[in-house]
C-alpha cells in the first residue's frame, strides 16, 4: 500500500505542485475548502518564486480563500464563479496582474464532472444573452483576458453556448477524515460541494489530488458508506495543524450537529424576535406574499434573505421547501449564521447535482438581489466600478426558474426611510439611481426571460414592477409615496404604468403579522 501521507501541507505542496499547474480549489463557504494547502503554496512561492504561472479554478471562493494567490508571477490565469469575499484578488484582477474569466458557478461545478469523463466542453443554454455570452464580454474580467472560453453554436435551429472545459492538474480539497488508503469522508462538512468531482476531474487528467483532513485513521476504520472520495483518486493526505483555524463549519461555528443535520434544532431556538419594520422587511414581506404552499423556493444573498425570515415569522416556511444551490434541500436559515446556512434540512446533495435541478426548472420562485435594472428589464448584480466581484450561481438560477423576484431598495447610498402610521416616509433620498438607462454588463437578460416564459417581478420598498415584452411596468406603489416625485423622477427612464396601478397591501406597513399563512392553499 503506497504511503500517501505528508507530515505538513508544505511537504505535500513541495512534492506535488509544480510551475504552470492548473489548481482546482474545491468547496463553497467554509466547506471542503483546503486553506492550509493554499497558504502553504503561498509560503513556498514567497520563499522560492515557485510555483509560478499557476491557473486557479474555484466555483465560489470563500472568505480570503484565494487572496493568497494574488502575487505577481504566482497566478497568471483564473477561472472563477464568485470571489467577492477576496478583495486582494479582485484588485489583482482589476490591475491586470492575471487573466480572469468569470463563469457561472453551477456550470463550473458541472464542468468538473465533464472533465472527469474526459469531455472537452459543455453545451448548454445557460448564460445566453448575458455577459458570459461571447457576443457580450464572454466572461472576461479585465483587459488582458482575450482568449474565448465560450462560443455560440447552433444546433437544430437553436442557439447554445459551448464552454471549454479546463482540466485540473492539482486538486486542493478539505475532508473530515482520511484513512491510510486515502479514502476520505466529508462527514463533518456542511456541504459536499464539488469535492468529489474536483478529485475525479484531476485524477482523470493525470493530476495530483491533495486532501487536507482533520483526522487520519487506520485503513478499514471508515465505513464504506461514509466515504465520498475513494482512495483510488487521492495522491496526498495532510492532517491539519490547526483545527480551530482551518476546519470550521462556518466562520462563526467550529462544529454543530444542528448545522450537520444530525440533530433537529428546536423551534424555540429558531424563532428569534421579529425583524424591525424597515425597508428590508417591507421588501421581504412583499416577496413572501408571492409564495404558495408546496413550492420550491431559492433565496439569494443579501436583501432577499429577509424574505426567509419573514416566511419563518409568518409560519409560511413550514409549507414550502427552501433549496440552496450549494446542495441543501429543505430546512430554515440558521439563526446567527451567514448566507445559505440551514438547520433542520431534509437532504444534502453534491453541487453539480443540485445545479442540474436548477437548470431543469425545479425551482418555482427565486428571490434574488437587484443592483441595477434597465428599462428593458435587464439586471446587473455583478459589475460595479472597476472591481470584478463574480456572478456566482445567479445565471444558473435565473435560467429556468419559473418566477424570479428581484429584491432591492429603490435607490442607494444615503437612503433613509421609516414607516409611520402605515405609510412609507422618505427622510433622505439615495444619491444613486438603481433604475438606469444602460447597464455596464448584463447578469439577467429580460428578453431571454420572456422567451423562456419566466414571470419576473422587481420589488422595492416603494414600488413593484413586472416584466413585459415592452419593458418593465409599474403595478404597485407604497402608501405615502408620490408616484411622480418618489418613483418616476428617481429613475433614468419612465416605466410603463399599469392601467390597474394600485397601492401595495397595507398589511406590509403594519407592525403586526400579516397572516399570509392563512391564505396559503393547504392540502
pLDDT in tens, 361-380: 999 999 999 999 999 999 99
Please spell the DSSP secondary structure of 354-371, one letter per residue: HHHHHHTT--SEEEEE-S
pLDDT in tens, 114-156: 999 999 999 999 999 999 999 999 999 999 999 999 999 999 9
Span 100-124, average pLDDT: 98
Span 484-490, average pLDDT: 99
Strands (E), 165-289: 170-174, 177-179, 184-185, 208-213, 215-217, 236-239
Please spell the DSSP secondary structure of 143-170, one letter per residue: TT----SEEEEEETTEEEEEEEPPPPSE
Q: What is the DSSP letter of 140?
A: B
Query: How far is Cα 269 from Cα 255, in angstroms, rounded to an integer?
Result: 17
Residue 2: what pLDDT?
Answer: 79
Write down the catalytic residue from 36, 279, 305, 325.
325
Residue 64: what pLDDT?
Answer: 84
Query: Residue 76 has which C-alpha cell?
Result: 497568471
Residue 218: what pLDDT?
Answer: 97
CB atoms within 10 A of CB 31: 24
Query: Residue 411 has which C-alpha cell?
Result: 435607490
- pLDDT above 70 covers a percentage of the chain that reads 99
* Residues pairing with 348 in the sheet: 328
Query: How far is Cα 167 from Cα 117, in angstroms, rounded to an integer?
Result: 11
Of 64, 95, 61, which is closest to residue 80 (Cα–Cα)? 61
Does the pLDDT of residue 272 top 80, yes or no?
Answer: no
The single residue listed with the C-alpha cell 405609510 is 423
Residue 523: what pLDDT?
Answer: 57
Query: How far is Cα 202 from Cα 112, in angstroms, rounded to an integer?
Result: 8
pLDDT band at 260, cuts 50/70/90? very high
Is 36 among the residues known to form the active site? no
Residue 522: what pLDDT?
Answer: 65
Region for 130 from its dihedrals, namely left if φ exceeds 0, alpha if ψ lies in -120 to 50, beta otherwise: beta
pLDDT in tens, 414-426: 999 999 999 999 9
Query: Residue 436 has which C-alpha cell?
Result: 438606469
Residue 63: what pLDDT?
Answer: 82
Does the pLDDT of residue 306 top 60, yes or no?
Answer: yes
| Between residues 389 and 299, the one the model is more confident about | 299
Domain edges within the chain: 5-239, 268-517
Span 151-175, average pLDDT: 98
Residue 269: what pLDDT?
Answer: 81
Strands 296-299 and 455-459: unpaired
Does the pLDDT of residue 453 top 90, yes or no?
Answer: yes
Q: Coil, strand or helix: which one is 352?
A: helix
Span 196-218, average pLDDT: 99
pLDDT in tens, 40-50: 999 999 999 99
pLDDT band at 413, cuts 50/70/90? very high
CATH code of the domain occupying 5-239: 3.40.1080.10
Does the pLDDT of residue 1 top 70, yes or no?
Answer: no
Domains 5-239 and 268-517 equal at CATH topology level:
yes
From 2.40.10.10, 3.40.1080.10, 3.40.50.80, 3.40.50.2030, which CATH number describes the 268-517 domain? Answer: 3.40.1080.10
Query: How far is Cα 29 from Cα 249, in angstroms, rounded to an integer?
Result: 9
Query: How far is Cα 245 from Cα 445, in angstroms, rounded to an integer?
Result: 41
Does the pLDDT of residue 398 top 60, yes or no?
Answer: yes
Does the pLDDT of residue 280 top 60, yes or no?
Answer: yes
Does the pLDDT of residue 245 top 90, yes or no?
Answer: yes
Amino acid at each position: 500500500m503506497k504511503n500517501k501521507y505528508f507530515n505538513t501541507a508544505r511537504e505535500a505542496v513541495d512534492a506535488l505542485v509544480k510551475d504552470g499547474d492548473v489548481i482546482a480549489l474545491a468547496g463553497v463557504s467554509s466547506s471542503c475548502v483546503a486553506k492550509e494547502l493554499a497558504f502553504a503554496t503561498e509560503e513556498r512561492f514567497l520563499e522560492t518564486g515557485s510555483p509560478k504561472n499557476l491557473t486557479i479554478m474555484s466555483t465560489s471562493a470563500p472568505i480570503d480563500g484565494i487572496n493568497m494567490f494574488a502575487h505577481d508571477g504566482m497566478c497568471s490565469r483564473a477561472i472563477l464563479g464568485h470571489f467577492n469575499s477576496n478583495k486582494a484578488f479582485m484588485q489583482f484582477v482589476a490591475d491586470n496582474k492575471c487573466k480572469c474569466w468569470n463563469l457561472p458557478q453551477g456550470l463550473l461545478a458541472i464542468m468538473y464532472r465533464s472533465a472527469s469523463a474526459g469531455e472537452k466542453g459543455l453545451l448548454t443554454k445557460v448564460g445566453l444573452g448575458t455577459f458570459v455570452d461571447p457576443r457580450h464580454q464572454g466572461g472576461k474580467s479585465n483587459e488582458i483576458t482575450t482568449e474565448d472560453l465560450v462560443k455560440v453554436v447552433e444546433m437544430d435551429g437553436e442557439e447554445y453556448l459551448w464552454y471549454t472545459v479546463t482540466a485540473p492538474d492539482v486538486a486542493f480539497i478539505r475532508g473530515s477524515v482520511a484513512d491510510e488508503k486515502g479514502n476520505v469522508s466529508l462527514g463533518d462538512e456542511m456541504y459536499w460541494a464539488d469535492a468529489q468531482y474536483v478529485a475525479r476531474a484531476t485524477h482523470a487528467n493525470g493530476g495530483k489530488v491533495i486532501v487536507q483532513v482533520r483526522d487520519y485513521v487506520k485503513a478499514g476504520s471508515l465505513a464504506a458508506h461514509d466515504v465520498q472520495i475513494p482512495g483510488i483518486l487521492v495522491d496526498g493526505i495532510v492532517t491539519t495543524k490547526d483545527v480551530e483555524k482551518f476546519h470550521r463549519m462556518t466562520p462563526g461555528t467550529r462544529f454543530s450537529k444542528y448545522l450537520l443535520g444530525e440533530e433537529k434544532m428546536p423551534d424555540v431556538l429558531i424563532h428569534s424576535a421579529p425583524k424591525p419594520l424597515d425597508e428590508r422587511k417591507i421588501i421581504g414581506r412583499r416577496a413572501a406574499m408571492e409564495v404558495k404552499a408546496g413550492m420550491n423556493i431559492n433565496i439569494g444573498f443579501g436583501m432577499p434573505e429577509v424574505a426567509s425570515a419573514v416566511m419563518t415569522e409568518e409560519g409560511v416556511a413550514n409549507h414550502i421547501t427552501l433549496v440552496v444551490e450549494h446542495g441543501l434541500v429543505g430546512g430554515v436559515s440558521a439563526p446567527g449564521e451567514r448566507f445559505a446556512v440551514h438547520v433542520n434540512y431534509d437532504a444534502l446533495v453534491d453541487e453539480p447535482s443540485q445545479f442540474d435541478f436548477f437548470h431543469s426548472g425545479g425551482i418555482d420562485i427565486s428571490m434574488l438581489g437587484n443592483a441595477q435594472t434597465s428599462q428593458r428589464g435587464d439586471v446587473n448584480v455583478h459589475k460595479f466600478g472597476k472591481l470584478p466581484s463574480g456572478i456566482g450561481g445567479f445565471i444558473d438560477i435565473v435560467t429556468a426558474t419559473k418566477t424570479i423576484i428581484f429584491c432591492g431598495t429603490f435607490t442607494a447610498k444615503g437612503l433613509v426611510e421609516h414607516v409611520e402610521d402605515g405609510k412609507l416616509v422618505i427622510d433622505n433620498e439615495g444619491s444613486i439611481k438603481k433604475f438606469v438607462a444602460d447597464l455596464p454588463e448584463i447578469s439577467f437578460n429580460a428578453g431571454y426571460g420572456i422567451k423562456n416564459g419566466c414571470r419576473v417581478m422587481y420589488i422595492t420598498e416603494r414600488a413593484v414592477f413586472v416584466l413585459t415584452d415592452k419593458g418593465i411596468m409599474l403595478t404597485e406603489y407604497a402608501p405615502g409615496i408620490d408616484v411622480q416625485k418618489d418613483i418616476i423622477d428617481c429613475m433614468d427612464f419612465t416605466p410603463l404604468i399599469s392601467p390597474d396601478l394600485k397601492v401595495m397591501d397595507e398589511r406590509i406597513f403594519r407592525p403586526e403579522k400579516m397572516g399570509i399563512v392563512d391564505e396559503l392553499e393547504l392540502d
